[in-house]
Structure 1
Amino acid sequence: MSAIRSVAVTDEGSQLPQGVFESLAGIRLAMRRFLAFSEALLSQWDVTSQQYQAMLAIKASASGQMMVRELADILLLQHHGAVQLADRLAAAGLVVRVPSSEDKRSVLIALTSAGDELLTSLAKVHMHGMLANEPLLVESLARLGRLAELGSGLV
């Protein structure tokens, strides 16, 4: 499992401009709005966020299939958690296990046609939800970038 890196706090005495806090708040608001939208959408389709994220990761991979270990790394899961997730997706008919052509000991997971169709439908609606939050996200990121360029002690 990939560890989330902690960031060392340096120069604890320095103050940050108000714009930094406004930018960070805007970014988090846009993300929370999108995630709330996503959760509501996925619940209508009886798909969990983790299942959706797994299907996205598989579809986004260069070969359209991946080892469970890779899925665990991408989703920041323990290996056994990724195995259970793959089991649930397979039981729902959304993924299939495929023997690796390179390493006969390895098994890959790939989307089934039903999984691909569901993912495509969900992704289309997610795009609309993401675009609805685009202005706030873009402005917040741009403001944060401008502050960093001005040397506001951000980096």
Structure 2
Amino acid sequence: MPEAEQSDPEGGAGTPPPHTGVLAELSQLGVAIKELFGAQLELLSAEIGLARSAISWMLLAGLAATIAGVGLGLTLLALVGVLLAKWFASWVWALLTLAALQLVFLLVAIMFFRRCMHWMTLPATRTEWSAMMRATRARARRRVEREDAA
């Protein structure tokens, strides 16, 4: 071991001597911060890539769920129609009953939509809606200004 120390004038086995002084420590701190933020930036870009991919997959899953829901609804309507036809012993009465049920469902949906539109006109909702629209416009203006400045 003493021979290794004597043959290596820097005091280590091929490693540089430890830096001393404030300037060297600040340099090491800068390198460490650069590596840290570089790693954080890589992680952020990977997460954004995953989020973009997830949005596409979510839209595709929503479309598939909508198609499956419509198919299920049509199948159940057909099943109810067959059962009504057997119960009434008439396809005409079964189809009229189904049409009446669908009409009731449509009217309930329209009434619910109108109620929701009424809720949107209430004073508290109007002020929240206005504030949200102003904030959206302000963000859009800032984005345009940043793009124009660049």
Q: Greater strand share, 1 or 2?
A: 1
Q: Greater helix share, 1 or 2?
A: 2
Using structure 1 for the length normalisation, give the TM-score: 0.30
Using structure 2 for the length normalisation, give the TM-score: 0.31
Which of the pair has more CA radius of gyration? 2
